[in-house]
Structure 1
Amino acid sequence: MSTPSDPIELTAEVTTALTTFRVRVPEETPPDDVVYIAGDNADVFGAAWDPAYTPMTNMGDGIWEWQVELLDGQVLQYKYARGSWDRVEQWGTISGMANRRVQILRLEDGTALVDNTSTEWASDAADETLAIQAWRDPLVASTVPAADSTGAVDAV
């Protein structure tokens, strides 16, 4: 039997990352609407799966952001909405109960970026990594009559 070795003390270090979620919304998104992020973890999103709880910041030019301190390696599911499940992103594979999924990867500067701004929808990239292509609710893209339309127009 050998003699006991010197005791070893280990301290586990929790590594976090200041994480920015960044998304591009469709051009037709009403300018007065607020974009929210809803997700599976109430400790992260403030409430679990509430489409009107965690507002994002409008950065202009169709870009919205939200920042939160997260654990390095943490896995989350989330969706973008405009205050209700009737006004949630719905397109491609992000439809119905399907969600976006991300694993947080801390960079050397202590930050992480979840970048959902690419509009390369025809690429091989997973839909969960791309910009929102469409909302569930139909949006009016234009109110200009077609060039060949006829009929009376009421002036307001």
Structure 2
Amino acid sequence: MITAATAALFAASITLLTSDPTIADSSATAPPAPATPAAGVQSGVFLSYNVDKSGTSVTIEHAGHPTAIALARDAVTRERAAGDQWHVTSLASLQPGEPVSLQLTPDGVAHGIDAEYQIVSTRLIVHKNDSIITSSGDVYTLTGKAAQSQTPLDLGTYLLLRVDPQTNRAFDLAASTQPFAAAGNANKITVTFVVSVPVNTPPSDVIYLSSNTTNWSPNGVRMSPLTGNRWTAALALPAGSSLQYKYTRGSWSTDERNAAGIEIANRSLSVVKSGAAQAIKDTVARWADLPS
């Protein structure tokens, strides 16, 4: 049972933690970013991503420094909870504070991003400032989306956290008065999309899949090029769910249209209820900014 006395004891502990001057203030201004990293794997914490005419880049915090790293056109972003299968996801789905590892080419360009975190199901003992103590005795620092929640957390609240296991920083938090179902029970289907695009598609452009799962961001899921003017992406989607989506070249001014250049309705997909995989083949008739 969680008692007021227990909470008071933990509150004293958290006061010591939050008042310790040796604990770094994550809100302090970071020093200038270091030089472009060499080839290999660079780990850090995801901060943001940017898309402009020069391409796509991601900014991570590494060794206390924000570092912007260019992303290759065919880069793949993967995500998983520790112990689960990897699934392809989009940059838009990554959360600030999420731990990531970037695979870099010799010139410092990222050709892959892996985001791996730990899921923690627990109960709240103490919530003070951006720190919490849970029923297991573990202390977590709230960051990113988890720190932005304005909802008061009461003693005994059930918590479902997504955590960086190296730092015990929780970047995502869900709270409930009832226990959460065991994480990872939902059956996922790997859906592979292959789309054929018009022959006049600029060779330097990247094709994206925009959908209701990425809040209709026009550059939601970066696809990978195949031969024959085709692009592909694989998503892990809940069995039996539905998806609405469209293809773009990174913006709504360059999205797909019908052969006459008229805007089309959202594409729709019903994910199968059983099995391990599903394949989808589509064709883009024309782009909004290009002739047929």
> After TM superposition, is the score higher than 0.5?
yes
CA displacement, residues 56-83 of structure 1 (integer Å, 9 cap, x when unaligned): 0001211101111111111010000001
How many residues get paired? 109
Q: SS state of the match for residue 280, structure 2?
A: strand
Match of 1:111 in 2: 277
Question: TM (normalized to structure 1)?
Answer: 0.62
Match of 2:112 in 1: none
CA displacement, residues 72-108 of structure 1 (integer Å, 9 cap, x when unaligned): 1110100000011110001169953621011012664
Match of 1:15 among 180, 183, 187: 187
Match of 1:58 in 2: 225
Task: State how far apart, in whole Å, the 2-side matches of 1:92 and 1:83 are.
Answer: 20
Match of 1:37 in 2: 209
Match of 1:87 among 228, 245, 254: 254
- Greater relative contact order (Cα 8 A, min sep 6): structure 1 or 2? 1
Name stretches of at least 5 consecutive residues in structure 1 with no aligned partner.
1-10, 43-47, 117-130, 142-156
Match of 1:27 in 2: 199
Match of 2:216 in 1: 49
> Residues 105, 40 of structure 1: CA spacing in aligned structure 2 closer, same or farther, 3 A cutoff?
same
Task: State how far apart, in whole Å, the 1-side matches of 2:259 and 2:245 are.
Answer: 15
Task: State how far apart, in whole Å, the 2-side matches of 1:94 and 1:40 are.
Answer: 23
> Residues 99, 27 of structure 1: CA spacing in aligned structure 2 closer, same or farther, 3 A cutoff?
same
CA displacement, residues 11-49 of structure 1 (integer Å, 9 cap, x when unaligned): 9x632211111111011111111000000113xxxxx11
RMSD: 2.5
Task: State how far apart, in whole Å, the 1-side matches of 2:200 and 2:192 are.
Answer: 24
Q: Which amino acid aligns with 1:20?
A: T
> Residues 15, 94 of structure 1: CA spacing in aligned structure 2 closer, same or farther, 3 A cutoff?
farther
Alignment of 1:122-137 (within 5 A): 131-137=283-289
Q: Which amino acid aligns with 1:84?
A: S
Q: Percent identity, aligned pairs only?
A: 29
1:138 aligns with 2:290: yes
Decide whether the 8 Å contact of 1:36 with 1:52 is kept in 2.
yes
Match of 2:241 among 68, 74, 77: 74
Name stretches of at least 5 consecutive residues in structure 2 with no aligned partner.
1-181
Task: State how far apart, in whole Å, the 1-side matches of 2:261 and 2:240 are.
Answer: 23
Decide whether the 8 Å contact of 1:106 with 1:112 is kept in 2.
no
Decide whether the 8 Å contact of 1:78 with 1:99 is kept in 2.
yes
* Aligned-pair CA distance for 1:53: 3.2
Question: TM (normalized to structure 2)?
Answer: 0.34
Q: Which runs of 4+ in 1 moved over 6 A?
A: none
